[in-house]
Amino acid sequence: MHIDLSGRTALVTGSTQGIGLAIATQLGRAGAQVVVNGRKRDRTEAAADEVRAETGAQVLAVAADITTDEGNETLLAAVPELDVLVNNLGIFGPQPALEITDDEWRRYFDTNVLAAVRLIRAYLPGMMERGWGRVQNIASDSAIVIPAEMIHYGMTKTALLAVSRGFAKQAAGTGVTVNSVIAGPTHTGGVEDFVYQLVDKSLPWDEAQREFMRVHRPQSLLQRLIEPDEIANMVAYLASPLASATTGAAVRVDGGYVDSIIP
């Protein structure tokens, strides 16, 4: 299969590092013009330079906090039309369930859900009018296996599954697809420090992550952390014309973490 996104413009929110940066890079490799987004200008421009150097793609850096009205307006002014929207922006962090305040519930929902909804609302009509488009919301295994240590995060990822399905119905029959991608435990920045908090610090990284997965994430069938490029591969496929019959779906790239025989 050949994934060709030539002539398409793709935005990846929260794409200055980790999964978002890997997705932006893979879409660039597929020929898309890529819009890299982050809150800080220096990090956003550095990430854009990295994608440009890696892929040779046209890359636009838009520094904007899309959780705010001002940031949203900045992004929409810079990129009025899109072919591919990947809502990757998200925050997470452990907190005892009974200590999560109303403000924290709202902050997680505003960042992880409403920011995505606003962009879908802004870009989906144009995609539908032109008869082609791809919207993807990056969810998590936490949407299904709610983590006891951060149920507010899990709640937002569950909400994204509903958001994706609902907007897919809105776009029915237009040539636009809307899906969510359920990412499993992934090797991103900061994860190595987290792993070494829980396993023997003298272990080499490959052994340490496998020990972490064996003891702390035993339901994973992959038995190692997922690499960001592996998430990006699925996103690139779903962004392509090859995935034209996949919409309204929650597609798993979770290493078998979710114990289910259906998506």
Reported as a single tens digit per residue, the pLDDT across 68-118 is: 999 999 999 999 999 999 999 999 988 999 999 999 999 999 999 999 999
* pLDDT category of residue 189 using cuts at 50, 70 and 90: confident
**Element spanning 208, H or E:** helix 205-216
* pLDDT category of residue 45 using cuts at 50, 70 and 90: very high
Domain boundaries, the chain: 9-186+227-253, 187-225
User: What is the model's pLDDT at position 263?
Assistant: 77
Percent of the chain with pLDDT over 70: 100
CATH 3.40.50.720 fits 9-186+227-253, yes or no: yes
pTM (2 d.p.) = 0.96
Strands 33-38 and 9-12, by their bridges, are parallel
* Cβ-proximal residues to 103 (8 Å cutoff; 6+ apart), any chain: none
Give the span between the Cα atoms of 137 and 160, in whole angstroms: 7
Query: Are residues 237 and 243 in contact, defined by beta-carbon separation less than 8 angstroms?
Result: yes
Q: For 3-42, write each residue's pLDDT tens digit.
A: 999 999 999 999 999 999 999 999 999 999 999 999 999 9
**What residues are labeled active site?**
153
134 pLDDT higher than 90: yes
Spatial strand order in the sheet of 133-140: 59-63, 33-38, 9-12, 84-87, 133-140, 176-183, 250-253
Strands 59-63 and 33-38, by their bridges, are parallel
Closest CA to 14 of 82, 74, 87: 87
Give the Å distances, CA to CA, from 31 to 50, 114, 146, 216.
15, 29, 37, 39
